[in-house]
Amino acid sequence: MHKVEIPQFIRDRALLSHGRETLFETLDMSKTAHVIVDLQNGFVAEGAPIEVPVAREIIPNVNAISAAVREAGGINAFLRYTHDPEERLSWDVFFRNYLSPERFEDQKAAFTRGAEMHALYPELDVAEEDLIFDKTRFSGMIPGTCEMDAALKARGIETMIITGTLTNCCCESTARDAMQMGYNVIFVTDGNATLSDLEHNATLLSMNAIFADLKTAEEVVAIARAAGSVATAAE
């Protein structure tokens, strides 16, 4: 698991900005989605094309959140990074300028629909009622490249709990865009994974100061269970 280190001056800056230490102490789970970013074989499995070893370590935390959210009446939405040669919004700038030809071929083979590496990691807790969305960008929020935003808005979702990989790429991109598109964002410190503690913490600094409320998996599970108990008592 990543060693989380957030300097006090960042915490102080967040407190000055937000006026309080934590943004979301309670949640309406009927308006909450747990967004699980790219926990696919291609990132999680041993020997994967873009292997993130810590991603295997966060699976129990991710599953605990999924179970708590599902039980409390929230939504779990799984994102899959996808190469789609027929998409209408071509991303040639990335494939042409940011990847070597060899790297592009590796990613294309791994993340094309139907490939083993494209599939969700088998140890994930995925239920029949959960949602699965393919995305062709790092962020799952870009219109024309992923259907998640429209689907969540149609269900009245206002808050996203974000877990997955890579912390500093697809998870961060999705979180930043989600906040700017009108969602409350909770970023799970021990539910996201990347290639080093340094990169993980760099993202957490920006999330804490500007874009999201940072919480541990244990804290998120507790909030979801409390919200579920309140909803049950009100019935």
Write the DSSP assignment of 70-95 as a string of letters. Answer: HHTT-EEEEEEE---TT-SS--HHHH
DSSP run (H or E) holding 180: helix 172-180
pLDDT at residue 48, as a whole number: 95
| Length in residues, the chain | 235
Distance from C-alpha of 205 to C-alpha of 214, rounded to nearest angstrom:
10
Contact 36, 141 (CB under 8 A): no
> Judging by beta carbons within 10 Å of its beta carbon (0-12, 13-18, 19+), is residue 20 exposed, middle or buried?
exposed
Report the range of poorest mean pLDDT among 17-26, 51-60, 129-138.
17-26
The pTM score is 0.94
Q: Work out the pLDDT band at 233, boundaries 50, 70, 90.
A: low
CATH code 3.40.50.850 for 26-234: yes
Tokens of 82: 């996808």
Write the pLDDT tens digit of every residue in 149-175.
Answer: 999 999 999 999 999 999 999 999 999
* 3-state secondary structure (DSSP) of residue 212: coil
Would you list the domain boundaries of the chain? 26-234
Residue predicted with more confidence, 126 or 105: 126
Distance from C-alpha of 135 to C-alpha of 150, rounded to nearest angstrom:
13
ω into 23 cis (within 30 of 0): no
